[in-house]
Amino acid sequence: MGFFKREDRDVVGTAGIAFAVIAMVFGMFAFVVAAHADNKKTGAPIGAVQVTLSEFAITPSSIAAPLHGTLVIANTGSAVHNFHVEKSSLKTSDIQPGSSATLDLGSLKAGSYSVFCAIEGHRQAGMQATLVIGGAGGTSHAPGDMAGMDFNAMTPKQLAAMNDQMDANMLKPVNLYTAQLETGPNTKGIGNQLLNPQVTSDGTKVFHLTAELANWEVSPGNTVRAWTFNGTVPGPWIKVNVGDHVRVVVDNKLPMSTGVHFHGLEVPFAMDGVPDITQKPIKPGEKFVYEFVAKGPQLAMYHSHHNAQVQVPNGMLGIFQVGDVTLPANTGPVTQEVPMVLNDAGVVGLSLNGKSFPATAPVIAHPGDWLEIQYFNEGLQIHPMHLHGVPQLVIAEDGYALPSPYTVDTLSIAPGQRFTTLVHVTSDLLGSNNTPGIWAFHCHILTHAEGPNGMFGMVTTLIVMPK
């Protein structure tokens, strides 16, 4: 079974993956020693370490605190947050905006801990960090660096324990990701499923979209209350032919008004889907019918255009494809379309196709394949997408074929933009002795891809399998 299906072929994943070989590749890092930190006091002064909570971050992202220290946790955001230490009973109660709380770390041994805000969806949106206890430093420092840690004040045993703990934390998501090759997706729900239209007697293709709240598992165990079309993130993939007469019936079952904009499609004014500009908002319980002739070829998207900075990142987004982009000479035929719907905010957060690593689907290919990678940025930030190992030929921008395709290894995609690239998979991408080649594929804003607990967010891989 594929991770998601598109028409009659698997886009990603087939049965019979040589998992053992892949496991061997990743397993090189599997030597994990149980870490028991040296719990003796270092004799360093006990300091209060400042931590701030905001939407949606815990700062610093790597908190260094001395043994038996105290955290002073300030909520500088505009929503209620709290602070939990995973695998311990240590936590604050809810902290109101503008308030702060203190947390006595006396019960924690030296080592590395995951900390997070336990308000639903906040951890997934970015409110998690690492708390490292053991050094004498204990001063806060810039996010991401560990400059505040006084490594000299730690015993070699403490340093090794902390490092082993971090390595063990980083291995966990990789193991969860690769296990998908054997056992299938590690989260519930798959977005981008092709939506079959009802075809009327005059040939009109009718699509039904229901705007509704739904539980959505972004990464294993992290289920958020998403704002969806038909219950998935991204919503269903709508594909029609150039010239088709299209009707999209939107049924609003949200507790908030909405409107659906067909981003990148040339439609009549009244069908542009911008509440208060081209139509009245679709109120809860109401329907609205969009109708137009599909011009193209075009690789477009549909998304909410009402309170959109909330509704779109929370999941109200999908692909609207009209025909196929014309391929340059001497390329193709395309053997696999690889959608990459980028998101970075709301309850869904940093994600590819509605999933955050390790729940992202691997792209599985074989020598000889031509992959058509289709990027759609539905987020609020630019994302430089980098595929290791092989260049990408950029053939279309915003659905329009480029007169002079060009080659990149990292492609920046701004909010609202779409790009289409081709990747020619060759046997050079295999590992040695005809083993699979596994190539990282990720956003190169590194805080969108890696953290002190390992890879997360906008990360997947291209796995090239021997024939």
For residues 84 and 116, the answer to whether their CB atoms sit within 8 Å is: yes
For residue 183, the SS3 value is helix
Closest distance of CB 127 from Cu ion, Å: 18
Alpha-helix residue ranges (DSSP H) falling in 91-197: 156-183
Q: Residue 29 and residue 169: Cα distance in Å, rounded?
A: 12
CB closer to Cu ion out of 5 and 444? 444
Give the count of residues interacting with Cu ion (CB under 5 A).
Answer: 4
What's the min distance (Å) between Cβ of 241 and Cu ion?
A: 33
What is the rounded CA–CA span in Å between residue 66 and residue 463? Answer: 43
Cα–Cα dist 73/225, whole Å: 27
Pairing of strands 287-293, 349-352: unpaired
- Of 329, 301, 322, the C-alpha closest to 422 is 329
b/e string for 260-269 if b means 16 or more Cβ within 10 A? Answer: bbbbbbebee
Q: How far is the CB of 360 from Cu ion (least distance, A)?
A: 13
- Write the DSSP assignment of 72-116 as a string of letters: EEEE-SSS-B--EETTSS-B---B-TT-EEEEE-TTPPSEEEEEE
Contact 410, 390 (CB under 8 A): no
Alpha carbon 258 to chain centroid, angstroms? 24
CB 411 to Cu ion: min, Å: 12
Q: Which of 193, 274, 279, 271 is nearest to 236 (CA)?
A: 193
Measured from the CB atom, the residue of 6 and 448 that comes closer to Cu ion is 448
Q: What's the start-to-end Cα distance of the chain, in Å?
A: 18
Q: How far is the CB of 314 from Cu ion (least distance, A)?
A: 18
Give the nearer residue to Cu ion in terms of CB position, either 394 or 413.
Answer: 413
Nearer to Cu ion, 79 or 445 (CB): 445
DSSP string, 237-302: BEEE-TT-EEEEEEEE-SSS-B-EEEET----GGGS--BTTTB--B-TT-EEEEEEE--SSEEEEE
Least CB distance from residue 442 to Cu ion, whole Å?
8
Biggest alpha carbon–alpha carbon distance for the chain: 83
Binding mask 432-461 for Cu ion (x = CB under 5 A): -----------x-x--x-------------
H helix or E strand, kind and range, residue 222: strand 222-229
Q: Choose between 195 and 352: whose C-beta lies nearer to Cu ion.
A: 352
Residue 154, classed as helix, strand or coil, is: coil
Report the residue number, 136 or 233, with the smaller CB distance to Cu ion.
Answer: 233
Nearer to Cu ion, 84 or 418 (CB): 418
Phi-psi region of 276 (alpha: psi -120 to 50; beta: other; left: phi over 0): left
> Is the torsion defined by CA of 327, 328, 333, 339 positive or negative?
negative
Residues of span 117-156 touching Cu ion by CB under 5 A: none
Which lies closer to Cu ion via its Cβ, residue 395 or residue 443?
443
State which residue, 239 or 418, has the beta carbon closest to Cu ion: 418
Smallest gap from residue 11 Cβ to Cu ion (A): 22
Q: Which residue, 334 or 408, has its beta carbon nearer to Cu ion?
A: 408
Binding mask 373-412 for Cu ion (x = CB under 5 A): ----------x-----------------------------
CB closer to Cu ion out of 168 and 233: 233
> Taking a C-beta distance cutoff of 8 angstroms, is the pair 87, 113 a contact?
yes
**Per-residue binding letters, 338-357, with Cu ion (x by CB under 5 A):** --------------------
Q: How far is the CB of 342 from Cu ion (least distance, A)?
A: 7
Shortest distance in whole angstroms from residue 349 CB to Cu ion: 11
Closest approach, Cβ 55 to Cu ion, in A, equals 18
CB of 446 to Cu ion, least distance (A): 9
Burial class, 175, CB count within 10 angstroms (exposed 0-12 / middle 13-18 / buried 19+): middle
**In the complex, which residues of this chain contact Cu ion (CB under 5 A)?**
383, 443, 445, 448
